[in-house]
């Protein structure tokens, strides 16, 4: 069973750290175009920031309620991914061939760059939600066992 | 449009699968129609695809525009040829039939599991589509894993004792995937490519590469992994339990498709990657697979004879047929190859049909074991379909099973492999023996215990059972042109 941490030091440190972790997650996500990083790593970091919030602030705090709602949007990230790929298909190119994204006033390089960022955002959203739902399902298992005993 | 048909065929079930959880949140009675419509559209497109491939020939699709043919091939290539398109028609047809059939059985799954149920089925189908199209060995691994993960969860959906079977399937299936991946690593280290067509060129250019230790080791791991996935005889331990305990609407889908698609992957790698049709070097591997096939054909039917539970018996029947198809593939001539591919399609339909019947028998008449069988007399529809499917399983003329087996035997005669012929004949006799045991129960002198029948069969169940039974006969009657079609795939394989 997940409960709020009882030490005020941990809670205030958590409140300080969580936004920083989320900022770092966004950095990793967008830096993925130029160096190591990208949607997968960024998504995991984003997911863990929510997990930290839940562990430190408890299940009644806003982050946890938000996370529970996010859990239902399991497919949104994948939808973004497939949607971008599908737009390329509609544009007349192969699946995920970003140069066929039908956007006016953008040259080829800009289209490819935008396409990759969009798909990476989709991947990050999906990974973050997956990390949350794994932890939630484990938590549920524990609380069920506890209620049986 | 034609250029993008492979990826559209994949995206159709995939996109529906990721939409379903959100649709299910508001109204889960919409899940089934949505899934069914997407699979029916997929079936239609698969037929269009088959016709187009027949007309225009093979097509290769580079995902994201990374053209195959650049050297070295960096992109992901999908190959849409005769064999793949035929396989896809079978997959989408059986999947839509299973979904149709599952409608009347969903109460046994439970309301809160409806959404994951349909999502997982669609994910499974899109993963199988991926395996069928994959042009490189690593993509086969990725989609094998997606298909297997969906299958574990689908088996476990029944709850109770199914959880143990699903866990066993999970452990063994993961072992299989790991072995397969290890094999891929060896191949990549030696040839520097994952693309099957490129590997093929390298092996043709320097056949002695196939004798190198890395490739021999890689092949061992690769086929060990695939052997677990296709439940080749000594590696079959996961299959009977998983198929018996899975929800009644899931067993037909898994029995009809999972092992067959793994076998298809094996054939793909052997003939399109290792050039087994052109070179003599892979022959030892083929001989070994053929030998294991003989063992599987005999052991599978022998074990089926010893079973009490109907679903378990049919599962062992499926294991013996995997062996039979492998015997045909390993003869390295056109006749046997065409026969075994024809038999593969037939077997998918026969297995699905038998598990449809087993599921309906459990639901409507409470028939689980051989001793309950007399109760099936109340349902002539089921028994009639059962007779047609049994004739095909044994291999009696007007059915598809006969013509497949016949061509495998002809091919084995051509290769002068009399041991294989003996194995096929003995396995046929054993198959006859276990079906005779069932029919003696159904028609023999025994009291009919009335009456646990819960009304008459629902229309979708009748349709699914009737269509599969009719189809094995129709396939048999059209066997001439179909075998001709599969001969084309054999010549594409280099035979």
ipTM of predicted complex: 0.85
Residue A1 covered by a domain: no
- Predicted confidence at residue A149, as pLDDT, reads 43
User: Using CA atoms, how far apart are residues B187 and B285, in angstroms rounded to an integer?
Assistant: 15
In-domain check, residue B208:
no
Mutation choice for B interface testing from A88, A95, A115, A137 by most B CBs within 10 A: A95
Indicate whether B417 belongs to any domain.
Answer: yes
Whether residue A94 lies within 8 A of chain B, CB to CB, comes out as yes
pLDDT value at residue B324: 93
Look at the alpha carbons of B344, B154, B7, B25 in this order and tell me if their dihedral is positive or negative. positive
* Average pLDDT of the residues in A108-115: 86
The stretch A27-41 carries a mean pLDDT of 88
Predicted TM-score of the model (pTM)? 0.92
Residue B405, pLDDT score: 93
Task: Give me Rg for the CA atoms of chain B.
Answer: 22
Asked, for residue B442, whether it belongs to a domain, the answer is yes
Closest CA to B134 of B196, B45, B225: B196
Least confident stretch, A58-62, B268-272, B441-445, B455-459:
B455-459
Q: Give SS3 for A69.
A: helix
**What is the pLDDT, as a whole number, of residue B105?**
61
- B220 domain-assigned: no
The reply to whether residue B4 touches residue A94, judged by beta carbons under 8 angstroms, is: yes
Residue A146 has pLDDT above 60, yes or no: no
Asked if the bond preceding B451 is cis, omega within 30° of 0, the reply is yes
Residue range B140-167: mean pLDDT, rounded: 90
Structure tokens at B250: 């899931």
Q: Is residue A3 part of a domain?
A: no
Contacts of A78 in chain B (CB under 8 A): 18
Residues of A in contact with B22 (CB under 8 A): 72-73, 75-76
CA B343 to chain centre: 11
Chain A hits for B62, CB-CB cut-off 8 Å, are 94
Query: Per-residue pLDDT tens for B105-129?
Result: 655 566 677 888 889 999 999 999 9
Lowest mean pLDDT among B127-141, B246-260, B275-289, B296-310: B275-289
Query: Is the pLDDT score of B428 beyond 80?
Result: yes
A19 inside 8 A of chain B by CB: no
**Cα distance between residue A93 and residue B257, in whole Å:** 32
DSSP state of A93: S
A94/B61 Cβ within 8 A:
yes
B274: in domain: no
Residues in chain B: 495
What backbone phi and psi angles, to 5 degrees, belong to A18? Answer: -60, -45
User: pLDDT at position B260, please?
Assistant: 93
Q: What is the pLDDT of residue B71?
A: 62
CA A121/CA A83 separation, integer angstroms: 12
Chain segment B67-78, per-residue pLDDT in tens: 766 666 678 889
Rounded distance between C-alpha atoms, residue B374 and residue B12, angstroms:
43
A121 vs chain B: nearest CA distance in angstroms? 16
Tokens of B219: 């092949």
Mean pLDDT computed over every residue of chain B: 88
Domain that holds residue B329: 282-495
Tell me whether residues B14 and A82 touch, CB distance under 8 A: yes
CA distance B21 to chain A (A): 7
What's the number of domains chain B is made of? 1
In this complex, do A75 and B61 lie within 8 Å of one another by their Cβ atoms?
no
Provide the b/e sequence for B371-385 (b: ≥16 CB within 10 Å): ebbbbbebbebbbeb
Structural domains counted in chain A: 1
Using an 8 Å CB-CB cutoff, list chain B residues near A79. Answer: 15, 18-19
For testing the chain A interface, which of B15, B38, B76 should be mutated: the one with the most A CBs within 10 Å? B15
Q: Which tokens is B114 given?
A: 């409806």
Residue of chain A with shortest Cα separation from B67: A94
- Tens-place pLDDT, residues B317-338: 999 999 999 999 998 888 999 9
8 Å CB contact between B248 and B108:
yes
Query: Which residue of A73, A90, A94, A115 is the best one to mutate when testing the B interface, meaning the one whose CB has the most B CBs within 10 A?
Result: A94
CB-CB neighbors (< 8 A) of B11 in chain A:
82, 85-86, 95
Q: State the nearest Cα–Cα gap between A7 and chain B, in angstroms.
A: 38
Are B22 and A99 within 8 A, CB to CB? no
Using a CB-CB distance cutoff of 8 angstroms, which residues of chain A are in contact with residue B7?
89, 94-95
A38: distance to nearest CA of chain B, Å? 18
Touching check for B205 and chain A: CB below 8 Å?
no
Interfacial A residues in 23-82 facing B (CB < 8 Å): 72-76, 78-79, 82
Q: What is the mean pLDDT of residues A126-133?
A: 90
CA distance A73 to chain B (A): 7
What is the torsion angle, in degrees rounded to the nearest 10, for the CA atoms of residue B330, residue B332, residue B335 and residue B337? 50
Residue A122 lies in a domain: yes
Instruction: Indicate the residue of A72, A73, A95 with minimum beta-carbon distance to B7.
Output: A95
Average pLDDT over residues A97-104: 80
Domain residue limits at A45:
8-148
What are B179-222's pLDDT values in tens digits? 999 999 999 999 888 889 888 988 999 888 888 889 999 999 99
Q: Which of residues 5-34 of B touch A (CB under 8 A)?
A: 7-8, 11, 14-15, 18-22, 25
Q: Averaged over B395-412, what is the pLDDT?
A: 91
Select the residue of B14, B21, B62 nearest A94 (Cβ to Cβ): B62
Please tell me whether residue B59 adopts helix, strand or coil conformation. Answer: strand
Q: A73 or A9, which is more confident?
A: A9
């Amino acid at each position: 069973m997940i409960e709020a941490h009882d030490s005020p030091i941990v809670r205030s440190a958590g409140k300080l750290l969580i936004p920083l972790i989320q900022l770092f997650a966004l950095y990793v996500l967008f830096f993925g175009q130029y160096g190591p990083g990208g949607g997968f790593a960024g998504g995991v970091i984003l997911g863990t920031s929510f997990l930290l919030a839940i562990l430190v602030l408890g299940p009644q705090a806003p982050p946890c309620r938000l996370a529970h709602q996010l859990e239902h949007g399991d497919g949104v990230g994948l939808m973004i991914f497939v949607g971008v790929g599908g737009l390329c298909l509609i544009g007349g190119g192969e699946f995920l061939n970003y140069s066929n994204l039908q956007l006016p006033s953008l040259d080829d390089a800009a289209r490819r760059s935008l396409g990759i960022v969009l798909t990476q955002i989709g991947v990050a959203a999906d990974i973050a939600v997956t990390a949350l739902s794994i932890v939630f399902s484990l938590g549920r298992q524990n609380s069920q066992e506890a209620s049986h005993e | 449009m034609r250029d993008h048909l492979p990826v559209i065929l994949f995206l159709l079930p995939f996109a529906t699968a990721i939409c379903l959880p959100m649709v299910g949140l508001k109204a889960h009675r919409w899940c089934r129609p949505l899934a069914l419509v997407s699979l029916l559209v997929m079936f239609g497109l698969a037929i269009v695809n088959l016709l187009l491939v027949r007309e225009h020939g093979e097509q290769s699709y580079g995902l994201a525009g990374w053209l195959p043919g650049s050297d070295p091939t960096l992109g992901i290539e999908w190959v849409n040829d005769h064999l793949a398109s035929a396989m896809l028609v079978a997959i989408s047809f059986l999947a839509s039939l299973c979904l149709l059939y599952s409608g009347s059985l969903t109460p046994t799954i439970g309301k809160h599991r409806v959404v994951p149920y349909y999502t997982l089925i669609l994910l499974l189908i899109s993963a199988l589509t991926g395996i069928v199209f994959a042009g490189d060995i690593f993509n086969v691994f990725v989609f094998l894993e997606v298909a297997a993960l969906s299958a574990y969860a689908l088996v476990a959906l029944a709850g109770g004792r199914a959880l143990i079977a699903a866990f066993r399937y999970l452990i063994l299936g993961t072992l299989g995937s790991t072995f397969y991946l290890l094999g891929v690593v060896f191949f990549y280290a030696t040839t520097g490519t994952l693309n099957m067509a490129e590997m093929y060129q390298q092996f043709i250019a320097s056949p002695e590469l196939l004798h190198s230790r890395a490739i021999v080791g890689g092949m061992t791991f690769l086929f060990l992994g695939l052997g677990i996935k296709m439940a080749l005889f000594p590696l079959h331990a996961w299959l009977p339990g998983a198929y018996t305990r899975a929800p009644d609407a899931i067993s037909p889908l898994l029995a009809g498709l999972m092992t067959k698609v793994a076998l298809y992957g094996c054939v793909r790698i052997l003939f399109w990657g290792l050039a087994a049709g052109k070179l003599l070097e892979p022959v030892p591997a083929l001989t070994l697979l053929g030998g294991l096939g003989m063992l599987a054909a005999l052991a599978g039917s022998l074990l089926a004879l010893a079973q009490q539970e109907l679903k378990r018996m049919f599962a062992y029947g499926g294991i013996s047929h995997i062996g039979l198809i492998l015997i045909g593939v390993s003869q390295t001539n056109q006749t046997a190859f065409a026969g075994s591919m024809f038999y593969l399609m037939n077997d998918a339909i026969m297995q699905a049909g038998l598990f449809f019947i087993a599921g309906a028998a459990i639901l409507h008449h409470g028939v689980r074991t051989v001793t309950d069988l007399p109760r099936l007399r109340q349902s002539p529809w089921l028994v009639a379909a059962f007779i047609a499917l049994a004739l095909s399983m044994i291999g009696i003329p007007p059915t598809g099973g006969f013509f497949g087996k016949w061509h495998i035997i002809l091919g084995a005669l051509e290769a002068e492999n009399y041991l294989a012929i003996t194995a096929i004949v003995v396995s046929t006799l054993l198959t006859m023996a276990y079906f005779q045991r069932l029919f003696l129960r159904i028609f023999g002198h025994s009291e009919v215990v009335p009456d646990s029948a819960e009304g008459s069969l629902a229309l979708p169940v009748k349709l699914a059972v009737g269509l599969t039974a009719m189809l094995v006969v129709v396939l048999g009657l059209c066997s001439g042109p179909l075998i001709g079609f599969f001969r084309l795939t054999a010549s594409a394989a280099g035979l």
